[in-house]
Amino acid sequence: MISHALESNPENEDEGSLFLVGDPKQSVYRWRGADPKIFASLLLNEKNPFIVQKNITNLPTNFRSKNEIINFNNTLFKHASELFKSNEHKEIFSKGAVQKQNNFLGGHVSVNFINKDYKRDEQLEAVLKETLFLIENCTSRGFDISEIAILVRDNKQSSIVSSWLIENNIPCTFMFCIYCLVSFLVKTLFFSFNKLWQWSLT
């Protein structure tokens, strides 16, 4: 349908156009069947499946997030870009690590690690306790429960976390599992901090 609309314009009329919006870093989550290779090929001038000339514009400023989150993302993606073997992925992630700040001051990012020597049950207990602590900490600072979201790996974890929150008098209206998103973030953080730890020893 797209190619038909672009190619079948009547005589004496302007050539058809196509406006695409995408982010290869987000397409790795595979939402709605997203394929990161498509965005990568368009960005890196590998091929153009359309007859119209390609014009790529990067949006330099993040107007959605607060500054602390932008700083964290820039630092994480810059470091992650150095871990890829693929030059294409290196370029995409390094370009995504230079988002400019906006006027939304504040924000907060924390990364907590569970003791790797814990057994599975101990890890689960530690995660549940930390989740409850973070929620209570947020509500004590004026945040409403409706403003808090928890991402889990699968439906089983969703059920466990929901039951734990309800047992501790935390209303839980909806738990949503985004496996690809959480898995990608966990792997990225693991490799990033693992490399930082190795470098700190050398």
**H or E stretch at 200:** helix 179-201
pLDDT the model gives residue 202: 42
Distance from C-alpha of 65 to C-alpha of 72, rounded to nearest angstrom: 11
Q: pLDDT tens, 132-176?
A: 999 999 999 998 988 888 888 777 888 888 889 999 998 887 555
Cα 117 from Cα 120, distance rounded (Å): 9
Model confidence, pTM: 0.63
Per DSSP, what are the bridge partners of residue 100? Answer: 61
The closest alpha carbon to 189, from 77, 86, 90, belongs to 77
Coil, strand or helix at 74: helix
Domain ranges for the chain, please list them.
Answer: 1-57, 60-109, 120-201
Q: Name which of 127, 23, 25, 134 is nearest 76 in CA terms.
A: 25
Phi and psi of 96, rounded to 5°?
Answer: -80, 0
